[in-house]
Chain A
């Protein structure tokens, strides 16, 4: 079983749609969770950290379910510019040592 698993997609949605991605992780001791976005052949860019209570940043909402070991990302009112690969990222330790584990990403395509 992979440490971090994501549906690779692609998710094809029209502009304005709401889309949700899920991610599961295998290490129950994992402490920190993030969503990154990666455009084609570019560097990963932090989208948002994921907190136990859930958090929202504009059109983006992240949720963490520790009991089921999954993380979700909800994007409302999709824009063309949201087209990218979304990476679920887990830090399996609770120390300053951040050996991040990346999922392979979920590809989103937003069409006009």
Chain B
């Protein structure tokens, strides 16, 4: 499967724990985007990364959230000290980088905070 791969599909954490979400882009894509979808809401942009660089993180909460896309390995979205409000579906997308190219999405990670 050469599509966007996310894991885990479901993640349960207790308040105060850390959550790590992983995303491997589609083969040939070097641009990765993270989105969050709260229940009954639309997808909201969080961060855009290229290999080893954060291009735009204007949609990331100022605290507890961070993202990386190392030279080797998947992109990681990290949420420290999770709170109930972090419960959401987190989707990763990738593209080849051209402006008119669509983004292709992974299956998402459903994060539940107890």
Contacts and interface: CB of A to CB of B under 8 A. Distances in A.
A98 B99 contact: yes
A96 B98 contact: yes
Interface string A86-98: 0100010111111
A45 to B, nearest CB: 7
Contacts of B104: 46
Interface core residue of A44, A93, A101 (most chain B CB under 10 Å): A44
Interface residues of A, number: 25
Contacts of A96: 31, 97-99
A1 B55 CA distance: 27
A108 B31 CA distance: 32
A98 B33 contact: yes
A44 B41 contact: no
Interface residues of B, number: 30
B73 interface: no
Nearest to A4: B42
A104 B91 contact: no
Given A96-B97, A97-B55, A99-B48, A43 B103 contact: no
Contacts of A94: 99
A88 to B, nearest CB: 10
A98 B95 contact: yes
Nearest to B98: A96
B107 to A, nearest CB: 5
A46 B55 CA distance: 24
A96 B55 CA distance: 11
